[in-house]
Amino acid sequence: MKYYNIKNPERKVSFSEAVMHSVATETGLYMPEKIPVIDNSFYSGITNTSMKETAYPVLRPLLDEEVPDKVLYKIIDEALNFEIPLKKLSNNLYVLELFHGPTFAFKDVGARFLAGILEYFVSGSNKEITVLVATSGDTGSAVANAFKGKEGIRVVLLYPSGRVSLVQEHQLLFAGNNIIAVELEGDFDDCQRLVKQAFADSDLNRKIILTSANSINIARLFPQSVYYFHAFAQLQERKKPVVFSVPSGNFGNLTAGLIAKQMGLPVSKFIASTNINRSVPDYLETGVFTPHPSYRTISNAMDVGNPSNFQRILAIYGNDLQRVRSDIEGYWFTDGQTREGMKELADNYSYIADPHTAVAYLGLKKYLSGNSLPHIGIFLATAHPGKFPEEVEKTTGKKVTLPYETAGNPSSKHVKLSADFDSLKDLLAGSS
Ligand SMILES: *Cc1c(COP(=O)(O)O)cnc(C)c1O
């Protein structure tokens, strides 16, 4: 298997190249040259199999032989080591809970797998690599936790001062001494701007190896394709068409689902559910993609006006709008509607959802209500409600807590910087 660059398809690289040099936002992202198809006896055979058992047959054909079997088994074993249960809320309505990892959001799945893969490639190369990430919260916590203690890897996380929640900041600061948490005087857009500048700085990139742990990194997406198969494995009834609703921001999660479908998983439709950051639902409706600045909402991990993985979605369908539309429908919701969704889930199903998950529920409901055919509807729960306690308590009246520990001293390096590139560059180029 080789991987091609979407903006420059002639350029084919190995998996290690795609993972270790994932970046340069001006150029294209990497995709597998050909999405492998798994024999359909596979998914009829995965009844009650575990996430780990499902993972190997899905991941093996997506990865270059560069990752030997023994290594792949070990990474699966260490990274995908938490439950991803499919819960039934009513006849035909299910929720797939992706948030039982160490930082209580689905980003643990991709971050932990990527950490295992990068550690393997770095250990064989005698080099040190720097993983640079801009975070508004969840990505940073997942990446810090996944990479702590990994040999030869330094992680630099940029987060906007005063804009991440206490739980999230705690997860950044208590990770480990190969983690540098940079508290930036600025907002999330400043963080992203500096990260892009770092990736584009040729002088810096001559001095150090710099890669990304955002979902532009292809190694974050592959393990996410596995849980779509794993949802099927837990489904008792498989006669009706299955619909997945995916709460989307940068569209990595949805792209992973589309890859699973290309591999043969019989999904009838994907719902791209968003908040008012609606460039993809608008594209599906009008055929025109118009990125916009990001708007702040209560489902803040989805506040993305120009989703990076959109180009991967187009690549999967060869830029053919009709083909995109036959697999994906998109709906967007306001904060007011999101709160209604949270309330409805609590009142009708005794299910406490965080705001992101509520958006997925609303998208599914809207699709199913416009369809006379009975479907199995599955919405993805991407964060534990306890990550957003104020919003959940205010809306549903239910108290939610997270089972996390506050003991010990902060172990990450904590640095405060102003939002200018030179100080970040000094920090990155220095060997501290
Ligand atoms: C990151 C995130 C999303 C959006 O996922 P994408 O893959 O970027 O579309 C949704 N919900 C939560 C809780 C997240 O952290």
**Predicted confidence band of residue 25 (pLDDT cuts 50, 70, 90):** very low
Out of 100, 138, 270, give the residue to mutate to test ligand 1, the one with the largest number of ligand atoms within 8 Å of its CB: 138
- Flag the least confident range among 100-114, 252-266, 360-374, 397-411: 397-411
Residue bearing the CA closest to ligand 1, atom 2? 301
Q: Convert the pLDDT of each residue in 372-405 to its tens digit.
A: 888 999 999 999 999 899 999 999 999 998 876 5
CB atoms within 10 A of CB 227: 27
Q: Convert the pLDDT of each residue in 316-369 to its tens digit.
A: 999 999 999 999 999 999 999 999 999 999 999 999 999 999 999 999 999 999
Please provide the distance, in angstroms rounded to a whole number, between the alpha carbons at the two ends of the chain: 37
Question: What number does the ligand 1 atom closest to the CA of 107 have?
Answer: 15
Q: Is the CB of 303 inside a 6 Å radius of any atom of ligand 1?
A: no
Q: Is the CB of 141 inside a 6 Å radius of any atom of ligand 1?
A: no
Please report which helix (H) or strand (E) contains residue 320, including its range. none
Radius of gyration of the chain (CA): 20
Give every CB contact of residue 359 below 8 A, 6+ residues apart in sequence. 247, 273, 274, 275, 299, 302, 333, 338, 341
Rounded to an integer, what distance in angstroms lies between the CA atom of residue 61 and that of residue 29? 20
E-strand ranges in 230-317 read: 242-247, 269-274
Q: Convert the pLDDT of each residue in 139-198 to its tens digit.
A: 899 999 999 999 999 999 999 898 887 777 888 887 788 999 999 998 888 898 898 899
Question: What number does the ligand 1 atom closest to the CA of 138 have?
Answer: 15
Give the single-character DSSP code of 430.
S
Going by C-alpha positions, the residue among 254, 382, 227, 379 that lies closest to residue 313 is: 254
Q: How far is the CA of 301 from the centre of ligand 1 (A)?
A: 5
- The catalytic residues are 107
Q: Is the CB of 253 inside a 6 Å radius of any atom of ligand 1?
A: yes
Compute the half-sphere exposure of residue 208: CA atoms within 13 Å on the CB side of its CA: 25
In this prediction the pTM is 0.94
**What is the DSSP annotation of 40-96?**
THHHHH-SS--HHHHHHHHHGGGS-TTS-HHHHHHHHHHHS-S---EEEEETTEEEE
Residue 189 · residue 167 · CB < 8 Å:
no
Q: Is the CB of 248 inside a 6 Å radius of any atom of ligand 1?
A: yes
Q: Is the CB of 301 inside a 6 Å radius of any atom of ligand 1?
A: yes
Q: How far is the CA of 383 from the centre of ligand 1 (A)?
A: 8
Q: Which two tokens stand for residue 424?
A: 């970040």
**Predicted confidence band of residue 23 (pLDDT cuts 50, 70, 90):** low
Q: Is the CB of 312 inside a 6 Å radius of any atom of ligand 1?
A: no
Place of tokens 């998109």: 330
**What is the DSSP annotation of 132-175?**
EEE-SSHHHHHHHHHHTT-TTEEEEEEEETTTS-HHHHHHHHTS
Q: How far is the CA of 59 from the centre of ligand 1 (A)?
A: 21
What's the full length of the chain, in residues? 432
Strand duo 209-212 + 242-247: pairing: unpaired
Query: Average pLDDT for residues 32-53, to the nearest whole number?
Result: 88
Q: How far is the CA of 206 from the centre of ligand 1 (A)?
A: 32
- Flag the least confident range among 164-168, 209-213, 235-239, 296-300: 164-168
- Whether residue 24 has pLDDT greater than 60: no
**Predicted confidence band of residue 14 (pLDDT cuts 50, 70, 90):** very high
Q: How far is the CA of 402 from the centre of ligand 1 (A)?
A: 19
